[in-house]
Protein backbone atom coordinates (compact mmCIF):
# COMPACT_ATOMS: atom_id res chain seq x y z
CA UNK A 1 0.00 0.00 0.00
CA UNK A 2 1.28 3.48 -0.90
CA UNK A 3 0.69 6.76 0.86
CA UNK A 4 0.73 10.26 -0.62
CA UNK A 5 3.25 10.98 -3.36
CA UNK A 6 3.94 7.27 -3.79
CA UNK A 7 5.59 6.94 -0.38
CA UNK A 8 4.95 3.69 1.50
CA UNK A 9 2.03 4.09 3.88
CA UNK A 10 2.84 3.74 7.56
CA UNK A 11 0.78 0.86 8.91
CA UNK A 12 -1.51 1.63 11.83
CA UNK A 13 -0.12 0.50 15.16
CA UNK A 14 -1.98 -2.53 16.51
CA UNK A 15 -4.22 -1.93 19.51
CA UNK A 16 -2.59 -2.82 22.78
CA UNK A 17 -4.17 -5.81 24.51
CA UNK A 18 -7.04 -4.75 26.74
CA UNK A 19 -7.97 -6.86 29.75
CA UNK A 20 -10.95 -6.48 32.08
CA UNK A 21 -10.84 -7.09 35.83
CA UNK A 22 -14.45 -7.51 36.94
CA UNK A 23 -15.15 -7.28 40.65
CA UNK A 24 -17.74 -9.03 42.77
CA UNK A 25 -20.87 -7.44 44.19
CA UNK A 26 -23.89 -9.69 43.76
CA UNK A 27 -26.72 -8.50 41.53
CA UNK A 28 -24.87 -5.23 40.98
CA UNK A 29 -22.74 -7.19 38.50
CA UNK A 30 -25.25 -6.25 35.80
CA UNK A 31 -23.27 -3.00 35.62
CA UNK A 32 -20.42 -5.07 34.13
CA UNK A 33 -22.69 -5.89 31.20
CA UNK A 34 -23.18 -2.17 30.61
CA UNK A 35 -19.43 -1.55 30.59
CA UNK A 36 -18.90 -4.30 28.01
CA UNK A 37 -21.73 -3.01 25.83
CA UNK A 38 -20.19 0.48 25.79
CA UNK A 39 -16.85 -0.98 24.68
CA UNK A 40 -18.56 -3.05 21.99
CA UNK A 41 -20.30 0.02 20.55
CA UNK A 42 -16.89 1.64 20.12
CA UNK A 43 -15.42 -1.50 18.54
CA UNK A 44 -12.90 -1.72 21.37
CA UNK A 45 -11.62 -5.29 21.44
CA UNK A 46 -11.46 -7.12 24.78
CA UNK A 47 -8.51 -9.51 24.77
CA UNK A 48 -8.79 -11.20 28.19
CA UNK A 49 -10.91 -11.15 31.34
CA UNK A 50 -10.53 -12.17 34.96
CA UNK A 51 -13.49 -11.98 37.30
CA UNK A 52 -14.46 -12.60 40.89
CA UNK A 53 -17.91 -13.78 42.00
CA UNK A 54 -20.51 -12.13 39.73
CA UNK A 55 -17.58 -10.71 37.77
CA UNK A 56 -16.58 -14.28 36.99
CA UNK A 57 -20.11 -15.00 35.73
CA UNK A 58 -20.19 -12.00 33.38
CA UNK A 59 -16.59 -12.62 32.31
CA UNK A 60 -17.22 -16.28 31.54
CA UNK A 61 -20.31 -15.38 29.51
CA UNK A 62 -18.33 -12.97 27.36
CA UNK A 63 -15.39 -15.35 26.99
CA UNK A 64 -17.81 -18.13 25.97
CA UNK A 65 -19.03 -16.05 23.04
CA UNK A 66 -21.99 -14.05 24.39
CA UNK A 67 -21.90 -10.64 22.69
CA UNK A 68 -24.24 -7.71 22.26
CA UNK A 69 -27.90 -8.59 22.61
CA UNK A 70 -27.10 -12.21 23.54
CA UNK A 71 -25.12 -10.99 26.57
CA UNK A 72 -27.91 -8.58 27.50
CA UNK A 73 -30.55 -11.30 27.16
CA UNK A 74 -28.56 -13.72 29.31
CA UNK A 75 -28.07 -11.08 32.00
CA UNK A 76 -31.70 -9.98 32.18
CA UNK A 77 -33.15 -13.49 31.99
CA UNK A 78 -31.22 -14.77 35.02
CA UNK A 79 -33.36 -15.00 38.16
CA UNK A 80 -32.51 -16.46 41.55
CA UNK A 81 -35.02 -19.28 41.07
CA UNK A 82 -32.91 -20.41 38.09
CA UNK A 83 -29.61 -20.16 39.95
CA UNK A 84 -30.16 -21.34 43.50
CA UNK A 85 -32.20 -23.76 45.58
CA UNK A 86 -32.55 -23.97 49.35
CA UNK A 87 -31.13 -27.05 51.04
CA UNK A 88 -31.12 -28.58 54.49
CA UNK A 89 -28.37 -26.60 56.25
CA UNK A 90 -25.04 -28.32 55.69
CA UNK A 91 -22.07 -26.14 54.81
CA UNK A 92 -24.62 -23.58 53.64
CA UNK A 93 -28.30 -22.80 53.25
CA UNK A 94 -28.39 -22.54 49.46
CA UNK A 95 -26.90 -24.58 46.63
CA UNK A 96 -25.78 -23.08 43.32
CA UNK A 97 -26.08 -26.46 41.61
CA UNK A 98 -28.92 -25.06 39.41
CA UNK A 99 -26.55 -22.28 38.33
CA UNK A 100 -23.93 -24.82 37.30
CA UNK A 101 -26.51 -26.81 35.30
CA UNK A 102 -27.77 -23.67 33.58
CA UNK A 103 -24.26 -22.53 32.68
CA UNK A 104 -23.26 -25.96 31.37
CA UNK A 105 -26.24 -25.71 29.02
CA UNK A 106 -25.69 -22.06 28.03
CA UNK A 107 -21.94 -22.50 27.54
CA UNK A 108 -22.27 -25.83 25.69
CA UNK A 109 -20.21 -27.31 28.55
CA UNK A 110 -17.14 -25.38 27.37
CA UNK A 111 -13.76 -25.64 29.02
CA UNK A 112 -11.35 -22.77 29.65
CA UNK A 113 -9.35 -23.98 26.65
CA UNK A 114 -12.41 -23.49 24.43
CA UNK A 115 -13.15 -19.85 25.27
CA UNK A 116 -12.85 -17.11 22.66
CA UNK A 117 -10.34 -15.17 24.77
CA UNK A 118 -8.17 -15.99 27.81
CA UNK A 119 -10.31 -16.02 30.94
CA UNK A 120 -9.79 -16.71 34.66
CA UNK A 121 -12.14 -17.06 37.63
CA UNK A 122 -11.05 -16.26 41.18
CA UNK A 123 -12.03 -18.49 44.11
CA UNK A 124 -10.79 -19.09 47.65
CA UNK A 125 -9.60 -22.35 49.21
CA UNK A 126 -11.62 -22.90 52.40
CA UNK A 127 -8.90 -25.05 53.96
CA UNK A 128 -6.00 -22.65 53.46
CA UNK A 129 -7.53 -19.25 52.73
CA UNK A 130 -5.44 -19.04 49.58
CA UNK A 131 -6.49 -17.36 46.36
CA UNK A 132 -7.19 -19.94 43.66
CA UNK A 133 -7.01 -18.76 40.06
CA UNK A 134 -9.07 -21.14 37.94
CA UNK A 135 -7.92 -21.42 34.31
CA UNK A 136 -8.40 -25.10 33.49
CA UNK A 137 -11.30 -27.54 33.27
CA UNK A 138 -14.97 -26.72 32.81
CA UNK A 139 -16.22 -23.15 32.97
CA UNK A 140 -19.50 -23.81 34.79
CA UNK A 141 -18.16 -25.29 38.06
CA UNK A 142 -15.43 -22.62 38.18
CA UNK A 143 -18.03 -19.86 38.03
CA UNK A 144 -20.14 -21.65 40.63
CA UNK A 145 -17.15 -21.83 42.96
CA UNK A 146 -16.24 -18.17 42.47
CA UNK A 147 -19.83 -17.11 43.30
CA UNK A 148 -20.40 -19.35 46.36
CA UNK A 149 -20.67 -16.94 49.29
CA UNK A 150 -19.20 -18.77 52.32
CA UNK A 151 -21.64 -19.71 55.07
CA UNK A 152 -24.62 -19.04 52.82
CA UNK A 153 -23.91 -21.00 49.63
CA UNK A 154 -22.39 -24.47 49.78
CA UNK A 155 -18.76 -24.60 48.60
CA UNK A 156 -17.76 -26.26 45.35
CA UNK A 157 -15.22 -29.09 45.16
CA UNK A 158 -12.74 -28.80 42.30
CA UNK A 159 -9.58 -30.86 42.12
CA UNK A 160 -9.98 -32.09 45.69
CA UNK A 161 -10.24 -28.54 47.10
CA UNK A 162 -13.32 -26.96 48.66
CA UNK A 163 -13.66 -23.59 46.95
CA UNK A 164 -15.77 -20.59 47.80
CA UNK A 165 -16.39 -16.99 46.74
CA UNK A 166 -13.21 -15.31 45.52
CA UNK A 167 -14.36 -12.01 47.00
CA UNK A 168 -12.93 -13.10 50.33
CA UNK A 169 -9.37 -13.09 48.94
CA UNK A 170 -9.30 -10.89 45.81
CA UNK A 171 -12.41 -9.04 44.78
CA UNK A 172 -10.73 -7.15 41.93
CA UNK A 173 -8.15 -9.40 40.19
CA UNK A 174 -6.05 -6.80 38.37
CA UNK A 175 -2.84 -8.79 38.80
CA UNK A 176 -4.45 -11.87 37.23
CA UNK A 177 -5.46 -9.86 34.15
CA UNK A 178 -1.81 -8.83 33.78
CA UNK A 179 -0.83 -12.48 33.95
CA UNK A 180 -3.30 -13.23 31.15
CA UNK A 181 -1.30 -10.93 28.89
CA UNK A 182 -3.07 -7.56 29.08
CA UNK A 183 -1.08 -4.43 28.24
CA UNK A 184 -3.89 -2.22 29.53
CA UNK A 185 -6.14 -3.21 32.45
CA UNK A 186 -9.60 -1.75 32.88
CA UNK A 187 -10.84 -2.58 36.39
CA UNK A 188 -14.51 -2.28 37.35
CA UNK A 189 -15.35 -2.28 41.07
CA UNK A 190 -18.82 -2.80 42.51
CA UNK A 191 -18.04 -2.19 46.19
CA UNK A 192 -18.79 1.30 47.48
CA UNK A 193 -18.17 1.54 51.25
CA UNK A 194 -18.26 5.33 51.42
CA UNK A 195 -21.83 6.09 50.35
CA UNK A 196 -23.06 7.76 53.55
CA UNK A 197 -23.82 6.58 57.11
CA UNK A 198 -25.73 3.29 57.39
CA UNK A 199 -29.24 3.27 58.81
CA UNK A 200 -30.29 0.24 60.87
CA UNK A 201 -28.83 -3.19 61.54
CA UNK A 202 -29.15 -4.53 57.99
CA UNK A 203 -27.40 -1.52 56.49
CA UNK A 204 -24.64 -1.76 59.08
CA UNK A 205 -24.06 -5.41 58.17
CA UNK A 206 -24.08 -4.52 54.46
CA UNK A 207 -21.59 -1.72 55.07
CA UNK A 208 -19.25 -4.21 56.77
CA UNK A 209 -19.48 -6.46 53.71
CA UNK A 210 -18.75 -3.44 51.49
CA UNK A 211 -15.54 -2.75 53.41
CA UNK A 212 -14.48 -6.39 53.17
CA UNK A 213 -15.04 -6.44 49.41
CA UNK A 214 -13.27 -3.13 48.96
CA UNK A 215 -10.14 -4.09 50.89
CA UNK A 216 -9.93 -7.73 49.76
CA UNK A 217 -8.80 -6.66 46.31
CA UNK A 218 -5.78 -5.69 44.27
CA UNK A 219 -4.86 -2.03 44.65
CA UNK A 220 -7.03 -0.05 42.19
CA UNK A 221 -4.00 2.15 41.50
CA UNK A 222 -2.36 -0.81 39.72
CA UNK A 223 -5.02 -0.68 36.98
CA UNK A 224 -4.55 1.58 33.97
CA UNK A 225 -8.18 2.66 34.15
CA UNK A 226 -10.25 2.19 37.30
CA UNK A 227 -14.03 2.50 37.24
CA UNK A 228 -15.88 2.53 40.56
CA UNK A 229 -19.57 2.07 39.83
CA UNK A 230 -21.50 4.74 41.81
CA UNK A 231 -23.91 2.60 43.78
CA UNK A 232 -25.98 5.17 45.64
CA UNK A 233 -29.53 3.84 45.55
CA UNK A 234 -28.38 0.27 44.85
CA UNK A 235 -27.85 -0.99 48.38
CA UNK A 236 -29.06 -4.54 47.74
CA UNK A 237 -26.63 -7.25 46.70
CA UNK A 238 -29.40 -9.66 45.69
CA UNK A 239 -32.23 -7.66 44.11
CA UNK A 240 -32.32 -8.18 40.34
CA UNK A 241 -35.29 -5.88 39.60
CA UNK A 242 -32.94 -2.92 38.97
CA UNK A 243 -31.19 -4.77 36.14
CA UNK A 244 -31.89 -2.26 33.37
CA UNK A 245 -30.80 0.67 35.55
CA UNK A 246 -27.58 -1.06 36.55
CA UNK A 247 -26.73 -1.90 32.93
CA UNK A 248 -27.38 1.72 31.94
CA UNK A 249 -25.17 2.88 34.82
CA UNK A 250 -22.34 0.65 33.65
CA UNK A 251 -22.69 2.02 30.11
CA UNK A 252 -22.64 5.57 31.43
CA UNK A 253 -19.43 5.28 33.46
CA UNK A 254 -17.69 3.43 30.63
CA UNK A 255 -18.71 6.09 28.11
CA UNK A 256 -17.32 8.81 30.39
CA UNK A 257 -14.01 6.93 30.51
CA UNK A 258 -13.78 6.29 26.74
CA UNK A 259 -11.23 9.06 26.06
CA UNK A 260 -8.90 7.62 28.71
CA UNK A 261 -9.44 4.06 27.48
CA UNK A 262 -8.70 4.96 23.88
CA UNK A 263 -5.64 6.97 24.87
CA UNK A 264 -4.28 4.06 26.91
CA UNK A 265 -4.78 1.66 23.99
CA UNK A 266 -3.28 3.88 21.29
State the catalytic residues. Answer: 53, 165
Question: Percentage helix, strand, coil, to 5, in the chain?
Answer: 45, 20, 40
Residues 253/56, Cβ–Cβ less than 8 Å: no
Helix or strand run (H / E) with residue 264: helix 243-265
Question: What is the residue-wise DSSP string for 121-163?
Answer: EEEEETTT--EEEE-SSBHHHHHHHHH--TTTB--EEETTEEE
- The distance between the two most distant Cα atoms of the chain, rounded to a whole number of Å, is 78
> How far apart are the C-alpha atoms of 28 and 134, rounded to whole Å?
23
CA distances from 183 to 42, 161, 178, 256 (A): 19, 32, 7, 21
Amino acid sequence: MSGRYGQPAIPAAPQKKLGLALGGGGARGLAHVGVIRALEREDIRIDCIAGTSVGSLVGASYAAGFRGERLLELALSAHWRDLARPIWPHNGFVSFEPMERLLRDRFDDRTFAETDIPYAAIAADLATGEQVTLREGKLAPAVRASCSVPGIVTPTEIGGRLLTDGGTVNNLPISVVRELGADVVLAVALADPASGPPQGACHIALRAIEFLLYHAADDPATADIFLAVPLTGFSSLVRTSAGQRLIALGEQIAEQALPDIKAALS
